Chain A
Amino acid sequence: MFGVAFTSTRAWSAIFLICASFQIYRSAFLDAALFLVGVLFMHRKELSISPRPWHKALAIMGVVTLFIFPHHNFVTMVSSLALLPFVFSSMDFDKSDQTFRATKQEIRSAKVWALVAILACIWELTMYFCADDTGNDRKFPTITDLIDPQLASTLGKTVFLVIWLFFGLQILKVLKEK
């Protein structure tokens, strides 16, 4: 049991430290801080953030505001940050790690999904550095270059928000079922 938890914490810490370093490299210091907070949370054993009714109320207000206001401004910044207490309190810090033996199907599925994620990260990074070298984002578009222009329209932003919230709610549903 200790082995599984220890490996998972070390692996995620390494990934989040790489993410934080990359965010610092691209001068996104708040993003870097978030990933560093993630690493700190993983290593704090006695951390406890209990869900409060105002967490949910704040998150709902944040989501509504995200639908209303255009992206990338200070209102949407505050709205996104307003979701954090709810997100943190949904992490079940107090719940300890459980021992399990993964099935063959789970291992196979996890390997394929990990491959998809790693290939996407490699390609995204390749595009990022190629665009940086040539100064031509059109030839080497990152995922952000492709998605961001769509979010300028109400329809594009609504579609993005619905998909993003759908995944968030699915994650919460699985968490609740545990």
Chain B
Amino acid sequence: MRTFSLSIYGALTIFGFGTWLASKFLPAKFAPLNELFGRAFESRSNRIAILIIWWWFGWHFLGTPWPE
């Protein structure tokens, strides 16, 4: 079961990496991430949400003294 669980994470990572590659090398089909973020940041809510989510990752993995 663990192998299956890990393989799903692996598949998702490859899917994400593939999307990043596609946006890097096929910008006519997929907009690059920085362009996408640029668009997203035109909305105030998106700016708030994306920065909070970014900070939360650091908090969750390093900052919180209550990891569970």
Q: Which residues of A contact B (CB under 8 A)?
A: 4-5, 8-9, 11-13, 15-16, 26-28, 30-31, 34-35, 37-38, 41-42, 66, 71-74, 76-77, 79-81, 83-84, 87-88, 90-93, 95-98, 100, 102-103, 105-106, 108-110, 112-113, 116, 119-120, 123, 127, 138-141, 143-144, 146-148, 151, 157, 160-161, 164, 167-168, 170-171, 173-175, 177-178
Contact = CB atoms under 8 A, between A and B. Distances in A.
Contact of B54 (A77, A95, A167): A167
Residue with the greatest number of chain A CB neighbours at <10 A, chosen from B8, B27, B48, B64: B48
A81 B29 CA distance: 40
A155 B33 CA distance: 28
A99 B67 CA distance: 41
A41 B48 contact: yes
A155 B5 CA distance: 26
Interface residues of B, number: 52
Given A140-B5, A144-B60, 9 more contacts: A72-B65, A72-B66, A77-B64, A106-B35, A109-B19, A113-B33, A148-B61, A148-B67, A157-B62
A92 B40 CA distance: 13
Contacts of A96: 44
Contacts, number: 185
Nearest to A37: B52
Given A174-B34, A174-B37, A151 B62 contact: yes
A175 to B, nearest CB: 6
26 contacts: A12-B45, A12-B49, A37-B52, A41-B48, A42-B48, A66-B58, A83-B58, A84-B55, A87-B52, A92-B47, A93-B44, A97-B44, A100-B39, A100-B42, A103-B31, A106-B35, A109-B23, A109-B33, A119-B12, A123-B12, A139-B2, A140-B1, A144-B60, A148-B61, A168-B58, A171-B50
